[in-house]
Amino acid sequence: MKRQTILFPKAQKALKRLGENIKLARKRRGITSFLMAERADMSLTTLRAIERGSPKVAMGNYMSVLFCLGMQDDMIRVGETDELGRDIQDARLLRPANMRGRG
């Protein structure tokens, strides 16, 4: 039995928005669904699932579509700034030396 991907509502919303943004980018460029699916080497069904933000589609397929749109660098920038992670790292650095390594 195949395991089902379960996402929190905020993650579902973000994925749906990603799909919508991909669809809008494709349409702005005047690329039909059929042509995009062909360029990305996937079925029209898979492309439609991507444009709906389906969590069942492999990340590689999302990347193929982004590459065809010339937007692959946008995905690379995910987590680039990571303000929360940097704040946590800074807080760890500010702890006294005798407290480091605990917890």
b/e code 16-36 from CB counts within 10 Å (16+ = b): eebbeebbebbeeeebeeeeb
Confidence band of 102 (pLDDT split at 50, 70, 90): low
Confidence band of 75 (pLDDT split at 50, 70, 90): confident
- Give tens-digit pLDDT for 35-51: 999 999 999 999 999 99
* The pLDDT of residue 101: 62
* The pLDDT of residue 19: 97
Alpha-carbon span 103 to 33, nearest angstrom? 52
- The reported pTM is 0.80
Alpha-carbon span 20 to 26, nearest angstrom? 10
Selection from 61-70, 71-80, 94-103 with the highest mean pLDDT: 61-70
